[in-house]
């Protein structure tokens, strides 16, 4: 169990004008699974390498349980990194790959064999120890890479895009495996990903990095409910942003007048602001019995199988809604409908 603290971690590559990573600060509790999320090239792999000791930071600090580890060599840091392409040593058997870390720690041979067998059991590959990595499928290779990392019981486990090379059903399987092993062993884990879904399903907390700076560090649901700005909201699939004026709990904009609950305006005074609401929180209505019900013109429907995406025109604004396909059956384009946007489902972006 290791508490990881990252303080103003910055990396400027030689010759580069912009920092690859700018003042990243994170507090990661013992045993927590944290995602560093951002588009490719945002500096997240740079951050991982600095935590692992493979890259020296330009400034800032990394501490484990309060002690700076920057002077520790990677082999003494107690951090194992699992790379995106697994990097199994091709000329070693699966068992030798998994036992590699113990061999480097000069563990006795019988102990290595016993723990490798345990590990193979744990990742559900009990009979594949003597195979070569090239004889395994992608998902199996991923498990071997995970086993090879976990066998040394690292203080901190780093995962680089752990699910992105897997197909859909393997992702779910692997996600559950990573989650259960990580909780079972209580290893503080940090993973990087460009896929917000991957971050949301796997992580206790998510750090979103855009353009080299951290936007928000929060529990996953906060990114949907209370994003810090428009870019953050957009990264998590936010589509609806409306500019207007807040006065006495009512937001006036091109949509008309919308009541806004108190929790939705935390940290904002009255005046000009941007209101956002998730497409899935825009509901179809049959009458004006609910507050915040607005007349809308149905511009376009996009059928997505389990849901239907509606493009609506309200007042001078285009907004998006996501509905259950059953709800919208029979609706035709250009039809006038009613939609409700609940007062507690909107969020005024902090200015």
Partner 1 sequence: MVGKDSLGIRSFRFLTGSLLIIWLVLPLIPLAIWSFAKGWFFPDLLPTHWSMRAWEYAFSDTSGVIDSLWLTIGISLAATVLSILIGVPAGRALGLYNFRGKQLVELMILAPIIVPGIAVVLGIHSVFISFGLNNTVSGVILVHLIPTLPYMILVMSGVFSNYDPAYEAQARTLGASPLKTFWYVTLPSIMPGIIVGGLFAFLVSWSQYVLTLLIGGGRVVTLPLLLFNFATSGRNDITGAIGMIYILPGIIILLFTARHLSGRNGAVGSFGQI
Residue 98: which of 133, 52, 149 has the closest Cα? 149
Using CB under 8 A as the binding rule, whether residue 17 contacts partner 1 is answered as no
Beta carbon of residue 86, minimum distance to partner 1 (angstroms, whole number): 9
Beta carbon of residue 106, minimum distance to partner 1 (angstroms, whole number): 10
Using CB under 8 A as the binding rule, whether residue 205 contacts partner 1 is answered as no
Beta carbon of residue 101, minimum distance to partner 1 (angstroms, whole number): 4
User: By C-beta, is 104 or 231 nearer to partner 1?
Assistant: 104
Spatial distance between the Cα atoms of 67 and 155, rounded to a whole number of angstroms: 13
Write the CB contacts of 315 (distance below 8 Å, at least 6 apart in sequence).
253, 254, 255, 256, 294
Beta carbon of residue 96, minimum distance to partner 1 (angstroms, whole number): 10
**DSSP per residue, 319-336:** EEEEE-TTTTTT--TT-E
**Which listed residue (27, 39, 105, 252) binds partner 1 by CB under 8 A?**
105
Beta carbon of residue 46, minimum distance to partner 1 (angstroms, whole number): 13
Beta carbon of residue 227, minimum distance to partner 1 (angstroms, whole number): 34
Using CB under 8 A as the binding rule, whether residue 302 contacts partner 1 is answered as no
Beta carbon of residue 27, minimum distance to partner 1 (angstroms, whole number): 23
**Which listed residue (18, 89, 316, 351) binds partner 1 by CB under 8 A?**
89
Question: Within 13 A of 348's CA, how many CA atoms are on the CB side?
Answer: 27
For 21, the token pair is 């990573």
User: By C-beta, is 77 or 226 nearer to partner 1?
Assistant: 77
- Decide: 257 and 250 in contact? Cβ < 8 Å: yes
Using CB under 8 A as the binding rule, whether residue 285 contacts partner 1 is answered as no
**DSSP per residue, 176-239:** HHHHHHHHHHT-EEEEEES-HHHHHHH-SEEEEEETTEEEEEE-HHHHHHS-SSHHHHHHTT--
For 1, the token pair is 């169990």
**Which listed residue (81, 112, 314, 322) binds partner 1 by CB under 8 A?**
81
**Which listed residue (3, 5, 12, 87) binds partner 1 by CB under 8 A?**
87
Using CB under 8 A as the binding rule, whether residue 119 contacts partner 1 is answered as no
* C-alpha Rg value of the chain to the nearest Å: 24
Which H/E stretch holds residue 173? Answer: helix 168-185
For 133, the token pair is 């990595």
Using CB under 8 A as the binding rule, whether residue 104 contacts partner 1 is answered as yes
Using CB under 8 A as the binding rule, whether residue 164 contacts partner 1 is answered as no
Which H/E stretch holds residue 49? Answer: helix 44-52
Q: Which segment (34-42, 98-106, 216-224, 342-350) binds partner 1 by CB under 8 A?
A: 98-106
Beta carbon of residue 83, minimum distance to partner 1 (angstroms, whole number): 6
Using CB under 8 A as the binding rule, whether residue 19 contacts partner 1 is answered as no
Q: Which of residues 21-80 bind partner 1 (CB under 8 A)?
A: 49, 52-54, 73-77, 79-80
Beta carbon of residue 171, minimum distance to partner 1 (angstroms, whole number): 23
Spatial distance between the Cα atoms of 274 and 18, rounded to a whole number of angstroms: 30
Please report where in the chains the tokens 């927590």 appear, as a residue. 32
Using CB under 8 A as the binding rule, whether residue 191 contacts partner 1 is answered as no
Question: x/- binding map, residues 134-153, to partner 1, per CB under 8 A?
Answer: --------------xx--x-
Spatial distance between the Cα atoms of 231 and 25, rounded to a whole number of angstroms: 20
Q: Which of residues 225-284 bind partner 1 (CB under 8 A)?
A: none
Sheet strands (E) in the chain: 4-11, 21-28, 33-37, 59-64, 67-68, 79-82, 156-160, 188-193, 205-210, 213-218, 240-247, 250-253, 256-259, 271-277, 283-285, 293-303, 308-314, 317-323, 336-340, 346-348
Q: Which residues here bind partner 1, judged by CB under 8 A?
A: 49, 52-54, 73-77, 79-81, 83, 85, 87, 89-91, 100-101, 104-105, 148-149, 152, 158
């Amino acid at each position: 169990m290791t508490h990881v603290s990252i303080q103003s971690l910055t990396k400027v590559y030689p010759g580069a004008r912009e920092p690859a990573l700018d003042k990243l600060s994170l507090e990661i509790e013992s045993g927590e699974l944290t995602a560093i999320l951002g588009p490719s090239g945002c500096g997240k792999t740079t951050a991982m390498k600095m935590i692992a000791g493979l890259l020296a930071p330009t400034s800032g600090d990394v501490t484990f349980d309060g002690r700076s580890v920057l002077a520790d060599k990677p082999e003494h840091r107690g951090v194992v990194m699992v790379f995106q392409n697994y990097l199994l040593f091709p000329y070693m058997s699966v068992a030798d790959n998994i036992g590699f870390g113990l061999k480097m720690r000069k563990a006795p041979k019988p102990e290595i064999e016993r723990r490798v067998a345990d590990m193979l059991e744990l990742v559900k590959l009990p009979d594949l120890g003597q195979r070569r990595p090239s004889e395994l499928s992608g998902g199996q290779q991923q498990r071997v890479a995970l086993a090879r990392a976990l066998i040394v019981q690292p203080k901190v486990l780093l995962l680089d895009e752990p699910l992105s090379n897997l197909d859909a059903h393997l992702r779910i399987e692997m996600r559950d495996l990573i989650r259960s092993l990580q909780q079972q062993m209580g290893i503080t884990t940090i993973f990087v990903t460009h896929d917000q879904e991957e971050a949301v399903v796997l992580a206790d907390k998510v750090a979103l990095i855009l353009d080299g700076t951290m936007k928000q560090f929060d529990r996953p649901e906060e990114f949907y409910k209370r994003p810090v700005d428009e870019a953050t909201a957009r990264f998590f699939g936010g589509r609806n942003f409306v500019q207007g004026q807040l006065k006495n709990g009512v937001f006036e904009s091109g949509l008309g007048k919308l009541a806004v609950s108190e929790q939705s305006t935390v940290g904002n005074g009255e005046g000009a602001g941007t209101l956002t609401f998730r497409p899935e929180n825009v509901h179809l209505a049959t009458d004006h019995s609910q507050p915040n019900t607005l007349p809308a013109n149905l511009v376009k429907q996009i059928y997505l199988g389990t849901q239907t995406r509606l493009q609506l025109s309200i007042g001078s604004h285009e907004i998006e809604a996501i509905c259950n396909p059953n709800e919208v059956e029979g609706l035709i384009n250009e039809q006038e409908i009613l939609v409700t946007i609940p007062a507690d489902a909107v969020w005024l972006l902090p200015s």
